[in-house]
Structure 1
Amino acid sequence: MRTTRLLAGALACATAVACLAGCSDDKKSTTATPSAGSSASGSNAEETEAAESALEALPPAEITAKAKAALLQAASLTMELDVSSGSQGVKGKLSMDKSGHCSGTMSTGGGSAEILKSGDTSWVKPDAGYLKMMDSKAAAKVKLGQYIKGGGDDDLVSFCDMTGFAEEIPDGSVGNEVTKVGTETVNGARAVVLSTTADDGQTSIYVATEGIPYPLKMIHKGDTTATVTLSDFGKSVTVKAPPADQVIDSSQLKD
């Protein structure tokens, strides 16, 4: 699955800040849509239970197709990720929308960075620990608390891509077969658990059985291990560009 290539790429980039400054020594508000996990009451309870049973009764490929369609139609979401490969690891929480707005943080063993993105422009504010992982010449040009301005397609913000992530949900075709393995609860919402195996490892997908069938979580186990949790579907995402006197362009960090 390309999903794990995205995870591995984000891991490599986040741990080196390579997209913005080079390795050391060596990509508005939105209209709200109903969120998964909203509860039914009264006469709607039986209808909700029936809907859950109906979704769980579907073939696995149909469930993943519905999950992909739901994610593609979502106006916005919040993604939490925890990725590791060997001795490297990165965690992050990003809120994003289809209009190209994204905000959040990513952290690795030595530090963290605030991420802002609006359209084709991104701003990354590294903390002291993150600055130490940058190329020393580039880091010397960045003041603590300053944002590094880059393109919206920088690898460090590659996870600010709702459509790209949705496209990676397996469709049940040859080489992407999916099986059902049970049900679990994700942040209070009931989910049917699906599993798929590829050359890069095994991935479990948790799809909401109540309300819109959003994918609520994905867990990958392989050379790269990762947990991605999705929530806050339809909540507005607002990004404000940092003041000009707090910004340095990434082009100024290159030799």
Structure 2
Amino acid sequence: MRQMPLHRVPTALALSALALGALTACGSKGDSTDAAAHAPSASASASPSASASPSPSPSPTAPALADLTAGEIAQKSRDAGEKLNSVTMTLTLPGYPGGAFDGTFSEDNSGNCHGTFSIGGQGSAEIVRVGTDVWLKPDAAYLKNLLAGTSAKAAGKWIPSGNTVKDKALFCDLGVQLEKRVGLHTDGNLVDGIAKGGTKQVDGAPAVVLTMTDDDGAPVRYDIAAEGEPRLLVTETGNGDMVVRLGGFDQPVQVTAPAADQVFQH
């Protein structure tokens, strides 16, 4: 089965098979403004009188996320991502080769994934991955425009697919990896120049904004949840060149292999 090549898309998708999801930026040094987290100390109490019991010192309070440095925020977000089991990602790529790409993928750390996507003017498809096994179910338009040479009888059937960086299965890894790699290069080095960009609301929830520049000179923005776990909620490259929204954190991804009579036999 012929798969549509990725060609050149935003830096965030120019990924190796083992390092999917890193949003790269210029330089390889850590954030020079980073410092140890500065949790305030408990207040000192006056010496109690002989007849009074000492009042307990207040417990140290962790600083609000917005009070940390950009590097500290990125680290906390990566730490939260490492504990994450699953996520749902909505991805928009207006400049995707062949037409605007829009897709939603629910994925977990075990390789399970279910997604639907469309490529503007080319068709749409559904994808399922169970572990390392992948199936694609194209509609008639997708089959005609993007899978030339495949029998028309395959429309609406599950077609065994690949699981490489050139296949749509790469999107089944992207959301989980993005959560783990905020502010890192594909080689795992810290980004130099990541900065704080204020705060905002994301679907009614407060978020802290981090900004940087990728290797192509495009601006990249991360919106990190300011309450609860500091998870990545949205990331955008350029002026809408790539927009990823993330949610459904730790919700089970329940997928099963297609029934044999629903799989296209070549």
What TM-score bracket applies, with the shorter chain setting the length?
A: 0.7 to 0.9
1:1-255 equivalent positions in 2, closer than 5 A: 4-7=10-13, 54-85=64-95, 88-109=99-120, 110-138=122-150, 140=151, 142-153=153-164, 155-161=167-173, 162-171=175-184, 176-200=192-216, 201-221=218-238, 225-248=241-264, 252=266
Q: Distance in 2 between matches of 1:174 and 1:124?
A: 36
Distance 1:155 1:143, change over 3 A: closer
Contact kept, 8 Å, 1:175 with 1:198, in 2: the verdict is no
Determine which structure has more spread, i.e. the larger CA radius of gyration.
2
Residue-by-residue CA offset, 1:201-223 (whole Å, 9 max, x unaligned)? 1100000010000000001017x
Contact kept, 8 Å, 2:159 with 2:263, in 1: the verdict is yes
Q: Which runs of 5+ in 1 are unaligned?
A: 10-49
| SS of residue paired to 2:82 | helix
Greater shift, 53-62 or 229-238, is seen at: 53-62
| SS of residue paired to 1:136 | coil
Shift of 1:141: 5.5
Instruction: Tell me the C-alpha RMSD between the 2 structures.
Output: 2.6
**Letter paired with 1:121:** D
Q: Distance in 2 between matches of 1:189 and 1:179?
A: 21
Q: Distance in 1 between matches of 2:107 and 2:118?
A: 18
| SS of residue paired to 1:160 | helix
**Letter paired with 2:214:** A
Q: Distance in 1 between matches of 2:155 and 2:190?
A: 50
Q: Which runs of 5+ in 2 are unaligned?
A: 1-8, 16-60
**Letter paired with 2:109:** K
Distance 1:135 1:111, change over 3 A: closer
> How many residues are paired up?
206
Contact kept, 8 Å, 2:209 with 2:222, in 1: the verdict is yes
Question: TM-score w.r.t. structure 2 length?
Answer: 0.70
Q: Distance in 1 between matches of 2:192 and 2:237?
A: 14
**Letter paired with 2:112:** H
Q: Distance in 2 between matches of 1:176 and 1:248?
A: 49
Residue-by-residue CA offset, 1:140-164 (whole Å, 9 max, x unaligned)? 2642210111243362110211553
Bigger relative contact order, structure 1 or 2, given CA contacts below 8 A and separation 6+?
1
Q: Distance in 2 between matches of 1:84 and 1:8?
A: 16
Q: Distance in 2 between matches of 1:142 and 1:117?
A: 22
Distance 1:235 1:175, change over 3 A: closer
Alignment partner, residue 45 of structure 1: none
| SS of residue paired to 1:235 | coil
**Letter paired with 1:79:** M
Distance 1:248 1:89, change over 3 A: same
Bigger fraction of residues in strand: 1
| SS of residue paired to 2:81 | helix
Bigger fraction of residues in helix: 1
Shift of 1:175: 5.0
Q: Distance in 2 between matches of 1:229 and 1:67?
A: 15
Distance 1:243 1:174, change over 3 A: closer
Contact kept, 8 Å, 1:119 with 1:152, in 2: the verdict is no
